[in-house]
Amino acid sequence: MYLISKIEDTVRIPPHRFEEPLNEVASEIINESYVGKIDKKMGLMVTVKDIEEIGVGKVIMGDGAAYHEVVFNALFFKPDLHEVVEGEVIEVTEFGAFIRIGPMDGLVHVSQVTDDYINYDGKRGALIGKESKKTLEEGNKVRARIVALSLKGKSSKETKIGLTMRQPNLGRVEWIEAEKEKRAKKGKGKKEKK
């Protein structure tokens, strides 16, 4: 889930940037400092949306830079436990598939892909259902549910997001569509019998 939060902080503007537009410099410096960092309550900071206020700069003796109090709105991505997410398969391994969900990646373990037994085809880079012949490959669009979540650490590389696709209306988009068509035909067949 994405959310916007108002943040108050102090930004250091170096002397060689005093002639540039203050809002642009402050936004750039805040983005460099915060984007990609994780706050346990807010999630992963994606970008500074806008700066609402910039206070008068204060110069500290021996530094030369100006320190400004700023109030800005930031966009965060915070995955929630049990949230249904959509993403793209970015890598397939013998133990599962990594799914890009927004600015973060999650893992669907092979045991959570389908109810079918899964084989890994290393040459093709695909997970294949033994009986159903369903395949999961890089580039596939999927829908999954977050079943495990750890936002420890300071960056998205240190997070762990566990996903499942073993529930109704989850899985590769084509699997979901095929299941809907199957249910629609089954429902239509029952009406014709009456």
- The hierarchical CATH code for the domain 84-188 is 2.40.50.140
What is the rounded distance in angstroms from the CA atom of residue 141 to the CA atom of residue 100?
A: 10
pLDDT per residue of the chain (194 residues) written in tens, 0 to 9: 889 999 999 999 999 999 999 999 999 999 999 898 888 888 899 999 899 999 999 998 888 899 999 999 999 999 999 999 999 999 999 999 999 998 999 999 999 999 889 999 988 999 999 998 899 999 999 999 999 998 877 777 778 899 999 998 999 999 989 888 888 888 766 655 55
pLDDT of residue 152: 78
Give the β-pairing of 118-121 and 126-129.
Answer: antiparallel
pLDDT of residue 194: 53
pLDDT of residue 158: 76
pLDDT of residue 61: 84
pLDDT of residue 179: 86
Please state the domain extents for the chain.
Answer: 2-77, 84-188
Per DSSP, 37 falls in state B
Q: Which two tokens stand for residue 46?
A: 């994606």
What is the rounded distance in angstroms from the CA atom of residue 23 to the CA atom of residue 5?
A: 18
Q: Considering only CA atoms, which of 29, 8, 18 is closest in space to residue 57?
A: 18
Domain at 2-77, CATH class: alpha beta
What is the rounded distance in angstroms from the CA atom of residue 146 to the CA atom of residue 155?
A: 19
The residue type of 167 is: Q
Give the β-pairing of 104-109 and 160-164.
Answer: parallel
pLDDT of residue 192: 58
Q: pTM of the entire structure?
A: 0.79
pLDDT of residue 69: 96
pLDDT of residue 8: 94
Distances (CA, A) of 4 to 80, 94, 178, 182: 15, 38, 37, 40
Task: Point out which residues pair with 89 in neighbouring strands.
Answer: 99
pLDDT of residue 60: 85
Helices (H), the chain: 22-34, 173-193
Helices (H), 82-142: none
Torsion, Cα of 30, 32, 36, 38 (10° steps): -50
What is the rounded distance in angstroms from the CA atom of residue 177 to the CA atom of residue 24?
A: 46
Q: Considering only CA atoms, which of 112, 114, 107 is closest in space to residue 91?
A: 107
Q: Do domains 2-77 and 84-188 have the same CATH topology?
A: no
